[in-house]
Structure 1
Amino acid sequence: MDQVKKDELVNALVSAAIPSIENFFRNHSDEKFFGFAVEILAEEGYFHVGACSEESFQSTIDSYSKLGESMEDIMGDEIRWNNQEWQYFDLNYDCNIWQEKWQFMLETLNKYKEYMGSLTDSEWNLAQRDFSALFQSAGEEAYRQIIDSGVLNGVTKTHDFRTWVFEHHDVF
């Protein structure tokens, strides 16, 4: 079975992500955002789009403050800039638009994963390595296209607003 082509995967990611992101920011237009991140878990084919606002992060500040964490630590890389601490960690998966637009590619990827399950161990290892490399590369390209699309232009942002993309295993 042939692996999905990178350009098809990029197009599917971008086509599903942009309207989901537009919908999210339309529904959260009264918030001020400090971060937008895409976390790729390539081996599983996951593409988590996350965002965090000052307003949504307040509960995290309150929670860590009660545990005795300093504001310096809370506002640092380990907490504030850790997308897994964000309330809107996977805003795309919580969106019907994403579910509808991503469904065909998800089914295609699941068929390929099913096919991979029939391979010998050595064949599976090679196929998994190739799939992970493809998905990471496609995810990074999709991120660039999402950013270049201007979808974040109308978002209210903090002075230190950041965007980034990363592969899960490179960080965690």
Structure 2
Amino acid sequence: MNDPVTTLDARFSAPGAEPTSWQATQEVLENAQITWLTTVRADGRPHVTPLVAVWLDGALHFATGPEEQKAVNLAANPNVVLTAGRDTWDEGVDVVVEGPAYRVTDSATLERLAAAWRTKWDGQWAYEVGDGVFRNDVGGPALVFAVDPTKVLAFTKGTYAQTRHAP
């Protein structure tokens, strides 16, 4: 998502609150050490798990093994919610990203994403690219997914503002 329409929801914001800028919202996504992914199981039950994600080219990206629950869930239903922020009630910004997840298999894009993972976590997440997946020395292949947001909500705490960013 680039240059979204930004609106403040006054129903859930303090009097006089200002909307959270798109730049401030992106900074939360770019800097989050942990992001929580919510998928839906085939029987309709939710599945929530923490993971490391990278914001690149207006989309949030994550990786998972092909047999992991989140990959199984995405095969049946691509709609996801990703959340990032702080575990405080009175400061910071929490961000919710909604949209469908889709596989990224293009080698050039995967190479850029692998570089972003290495940079963000000082080399602790080192992926190699091959056959449309990430590979490393820890486990088997990892499928890479992107979420182009259909809606992003930013919840500013302390000043209490709920902001919506949408294409």
**Do Structure 1 and Structure 2 share a fold, with TM-score over 0.5?**
no
TM-score range, shorter chain: under 0.3
Structure with the larger strand share: 2
Q: Which has the higher contact order (CA 8 A, sep 6+)?
A: 1
TM normalised by structure 1 equals 0.26
Structure with the larger helix share: 1
